[in-house]
Amino acid sequence: KGVPVTVLNAPSGKDYITDPQVVDVVMKVHFPLKSDPKKEVVVVANYDDLSSSISGKVILRPMSLPVGVIGYEINPISVKIKEVKR
């Protein structure tokens, strides 16, 4: 199961999704862990990054990582942000 992507700083009054909406996150962690780190990680796409994007995609970043994570990889590394028509 992947991690859903959250869109930050989107204009108010409109809804946005990413394509893809779910990404894979591989984490390097210190052992032992008390909980599943994937349940605590939050991956974000910053709407503000679209203005400087040549490809129309934005780079994904973790907004929060669980304690014990010493490295991570997000796949794919970038997504498109699309407005949801109401």
Nearest to 68 by CA among 37, 42, 30: 30
For residue 74, pLDDT over 80 is answered with yes
Residue 86 has a pLDDT of 72
CA distance 62 to 78: 12
| Residue 16 burial by Cβ neighbours in a 10 Å radius (0-12, 13-18, 19+) | middle
For residue 65, pLDDT over 90 is answered with no
CA distance 1 to 15: 24
Considering the chain, what percentage of its residues have pLDDT values greater than 70?
99
Q: Output the pTM of the full model.
A: 0.85
> Is the Cβ–Cβ distance between 71 and 36 less than 8 Å?
no
Question: Apex CA 24: angle with CA 77 and CA 10, to 5°?
Answer: 55
7-22 pLDDT tens trace: 999 999 989 999 999 9
